Structure 1
Amino acid sequence: MFRNKNKIKFIKEQKLERSRKDGFTETVRIGWFETIFNVLQEHNLFDKPGQIYNVDECGFNDDTERELVLVPSDTKVKYEENGGTGKSFTTAIIGVNAKGDILPPLTVYAAKSVNHQ
């Protein structure tokens, strides 16, 4: 197979659950920005960056294998839909405010049991 260096390349595909792929629509995106604007306005937070936080989590599971896939050379990321494995999962949570302050990270490990009766 001939690959023109400028037209295609190999990259590792990233896992993406179907619900995330199908759930992010233009209507959802516009609605999110309208909601955040209304919250900032209602609580008078436009000039208070130290009170505006973004907190996000990043999950790591035991199903880490990715495959090389052939894509157009201008493609940055290729996602593979998956349903999740339901196996061991560790989560890291970090928060940063608009002023640049960083909260200490929080790590949540998978538990075998949470109900000890």
Structure 2
Amino acid sequence: MRAFKARHPELTSQTADSLDKARVHGATPESIGAFFQLYKALYVKHNLEEKPHPIYNCDETGFGDEPRSREKVLCQTGRKHVYQQQQTTKEHITVHCCVNASGDTIPPFIMWDLG
């Protein structure tokens, strides 16, 4: 491995962040840019510039019953994030949180999937 890395200085090894399969294949610069173009058009169309309270951002994160892999992957030097597909497990906890642009929150929604 050392000899391979010496021949390819443009590569480095990093611990990958886990993502589910849909996000691995869907999080492209083009799809993210298209989302924000659509969002901006709706934002202006509905005159939301001075109305932050109805604008919510929701996010979810999941926790499995197996510890996260600390394996390293090869990637281009200088990359900030590297992703690998998340392994499925039998037990899973999902937490869904929402906050609006004014800073108000909705209590988190927590789901347990015991397989």
- Does the pair score TM above 0.5? yes
TM-score (ref. length: structure 1): 0.69
Alignment of 1:1-117 (within 5 A): 12-69=15-72, 76-82=80-86, 84-110=87-113
Q: Larger strand proportion, structure 1 or 2? A: 2
Gaps of 5+ in 2: 3-11
CA RMSD of aligned residues (A): 2.9
Q: Is the 8 A contact 1:94 1:106 kept in 2?
A: yes
% identical equivalent positions: 29
Alignment partners' CA distance in 1, 2:27 and 2:48: 27
Alignment partners' CA distance in 1, 2:93 and 2:19: 17
Alignment partners' CA distance in 1, 2:73 and 2:94: 30
Gaps of 5+ in 1: 2-8, 113-117
Q: Is the 8 A contact 1:57 1:92 kept in 2?
A: yes
Deviation at 1:94, TM superposition (A): 0.8
TM-score (ref. length: structure 2): 0.70
Q: Is the 8 A contact 1:63 1:85 kept in 2?
A: no
Aligned residues: 108
